């Protein structure tokens, strides 16, 4: 019997029915096929002092909120970050592999892996994950951002599910709320008073909070900001000094004073 690279299909071919493994609701018009947990929305954008990478906190399975405190902006090493959209289980494993491989290279070679080498490493992981992605059980569409010491600047790259990489000139967005954020960024850069890349850090952070709030307004899978529960997007700054997480109390102040007002 020929088996495909889909774990659920393998179970079915071995005689394990999905109706026995998962509760069925077909009679109510809901598919009995189990929903995978996924995470959205993430984006990276350049500003005057470097790169900001942000992600909402919500993880969903179909129309069910599974978790509202997910960290989707993962620090791989002191100069690079991977923001994940897709299946967290697969994405977190990729992040762990990258973190350990970068650390091993640094300790064995007594120097950091080049920025190009980091890009190739993530591309290889995505390419190896292609069967699971095409089967729908392990799709990951990440955004990778970091500081390139050789060129002395921050860079942003985005990928497709097969590992093809593309450099973003000013910003990159991934996840179900990406269309809203991409549209606003395009408008600001094209017809705004000034390009986003020219913003100072405070204005850029305010803009990030507004972008995530707008995405949450039009996409139910995006968590947005929940001030009452003290839930704010994870935001990391990348510059020549390395990766730094923006403290939640600073986001709280900016949101209450600049976004809600």
CA 68/CA 223 separation, integer angstroms:
7
Q: What is the mean pLDDT of residues 58-85?
A: 93
Catalytic residue from among 40, 60, 90, 139: 40
Q: Which residues contact 150 (CB under 8 A, 6 or more apart)?
A: 114, 115
Q: How far apart are CA 157 and CA 141, in angstroms?
A: 11
Picking from 23-32, 120-129, 181-190, 209-218, which range would have the lowest pLDDT averaged per residue? 23-32
Average pLDDT over residues 33-52: 85
pLDDT at 29 exceeding the cut of 90: no
User: Catalytic site residue 193?
Assistant: no
At 194 the pLDDT is 87
Domain boundaries along the sequence of the chain: 39-259
DSSP codes of every residue in 215-260: HHHH-TT----BTTTTB--EEEEEETTEEEEPPHHHHHHHIIIII-
Topology of the domain covering 39-259:
3.60.20
Tens digit of pLDDT for each residue in 87-133?
A: 999 999 999 999 999 999 999 999 999 999 999 999 999 999 999 99
For the cut 80, the answer to whether the pLDDT of residue 7 exceeds it is: no
- pTM metric for this prediction: 0.85
Report the chain's terminal Cα–Cα distance, integer Å.
63
At residue 201, does pLDDT exceed 90? yes
Q: What is the DSSP letter of 111?
A: S
**Other C-beta atoms lying within 10 Å of the C-beta of residue 110:** 7
Per mean pLDDT, which range of 46-50, 184-188, 191-195 is the poorest? 191-195
pLDDT above 70 covers a percentage of the chain that reads 86
């Amino acid at each position: 019997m020929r088996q495909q690279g889909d774990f659920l299909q393998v179970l079915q071919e071995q005689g394990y029915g999905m109706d026995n493994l998962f509760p069925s609701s077909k009679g109510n018009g809901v598919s009995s096929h189990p929903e995978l947990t996924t995470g959205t929305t993430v984006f990276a954008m350049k500003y005057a002092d470097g790169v900001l990478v942000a992600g909402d906190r919500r993880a969903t399975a179909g129309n069910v909120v599974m978790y509202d405190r997910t960290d989707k902006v993962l620090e791989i090493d002191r100069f690079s970050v991977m923001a994940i959209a897709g299946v967290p289980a697969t994405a977190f494993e990729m992040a762990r592999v990258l973190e350990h491989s970068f650390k091993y290279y640094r300790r064995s070679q007594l120097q950091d892996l080049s920025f190009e080498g980091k890009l190739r490493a993530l591309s290889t992981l995505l390419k190896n994950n292609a069967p699971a992605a095409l089967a729908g059980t392990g799709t990951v569409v990440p955004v990778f951002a970091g500081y390139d010491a050789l060129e002395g600047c921050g860079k942003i790259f985005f990928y497709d599910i097969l590992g093809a990489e593309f450099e973003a000139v000013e910003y990159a967005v991934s996840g179900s709320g990406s269309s809203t954020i991409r549209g606003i960024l395009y408008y600001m850069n094209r017809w705004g008073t000034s390009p986003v890349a020219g913003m100072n850090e405070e204005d850029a952070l305010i803009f990030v909070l507004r972008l995530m709030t707008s995405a949450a307004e039009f996409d139910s899978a995006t968590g947005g900001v929940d001030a009452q529960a003290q839930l704010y997007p994870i935001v990391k700054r990348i510059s020549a000094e390395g990766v730094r997480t923006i403290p939640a109390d600073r986001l709280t102040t900016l949101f209450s004073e600049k976004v809600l007002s």
